[in-house]
Amino acid sequence: MRKKFVWLSTFAAVVSAMILSIGCKRSGPSAPANSATPHKQFIIGMSQCNLGEPWRVQMNADIRTAAAKHPELKVIFKDAQNDTLKQIYQLEEFVQQKVNLIIISPKEAQPLTGPVARAMEAGIPVIVLDRRLLGTNYTCFIGANNKKIGYAAGKWIVNALQGKGQVVELMGLMTSTPGQDRHAGFREAIAGTGIQILFEADMQWLEPNARMEMESALDRFSHIDLVFAANDDGAHGAYLAAKAAGRAGEMKFVGIDALPQEGIAWVKQGILDATFQYPTGGAEAVEMALKILHGENVPKDIQLGSRMFDKANVDQGGQPIQ
Phi/psi of residue 45, each to 5°? -95, 125
Could you give the C-alpha distances from 178 to 12, 34, 60, 314, in angstroms and in order? 74, 48, 19, 24
- Assess contact for 304 and 258: CB atoms under 8 A: no
Under the criterion CB under 6 A, does residue 169 sit at the interface with ligand FRU? no
Under the criterion CB under 6 A, does residue 231 sit at the interface with ligand FRU? yes
Under the criterion CB under 6 A, does residue 148 sit at the interface with ligand FRU? no
Under the criterion CB under 6 A, does residue 183 sit at the interface with ligand FRU? no
Which of 42, 48, 56, 253 touches ligand FRU by CB under 6 A? 56
Of the candidate spans 48-56, 72-80, 89-97, 184-192, the one that interacts with ligand FRU by CB under 6 A turns out to be 48-56
Provide the edge-to-edge strand list for the sheet that holds 301-304: 73-79, 42-48, 101-105, 126-129, 140-144, 301-304
To ligand FRU, the closest distance from the beta carbon of 130 in angstroms equals 5
Under the criterion CB under 6 A, does residue 55 sit at the interface with ligand FRU? yes
Distance of alpha carbon 260 from alpha carbon 218, whole angstroms: 29
Distance of alpha carbon 305 from alpha carbon 164, whole angstroms: 29
Under the criterion CB under 6 A, does residue 186 sit at the interface with ligand FRU? no
Burial of 4 (0-12, 13-18, 19+ CB in 10 A): exposed
What letter represents residue 14's amino acid? V
Q: How many CB atoms lie within 10 A of CB 322?
A: 8
Pick the closer one to ligand FRU by CB: 56 or 148: 56
To ligand FRU, the closest distance from the beta carbon of 232 in angstroms equals 7
Pick the closer one to ligand FRU by CB: 99 or 267: 267
Of the candidate spans 50-58, 63-71, 191-199, 295-303, the one that interacts with ligand FRU by CB under 6 A turns out to be 50-58
Which of 66, 67, 91, 131 touches ligand FRU by CB under 6 A? 131
**Residue 104 β-bridge partners:** 47, 128
To ligand FRU, the closest distance from the beta carbon of 288 in angstroms equals 18
Binding mask 255-274 for ligand FRU (x = CB under 6 A): -xx-----------------
Pick the closer one to ligand FRU by CB: 73 or 112: 112
To ligand FRU, the closest distance from the beta carbon of 143 in angstroms equals 8
Q: How many CA atoms lie less than 13 Å away from 270 in the CB half-sphere?
A: 3
Distance of alpha carbon 254 from alpha carbon 228, whole angstroms: 5
Binding site for ligand FRU (CB under 6 A): 53, 55-56, 130-131, 172, 176, 178, 205, 231, 256-257, 278
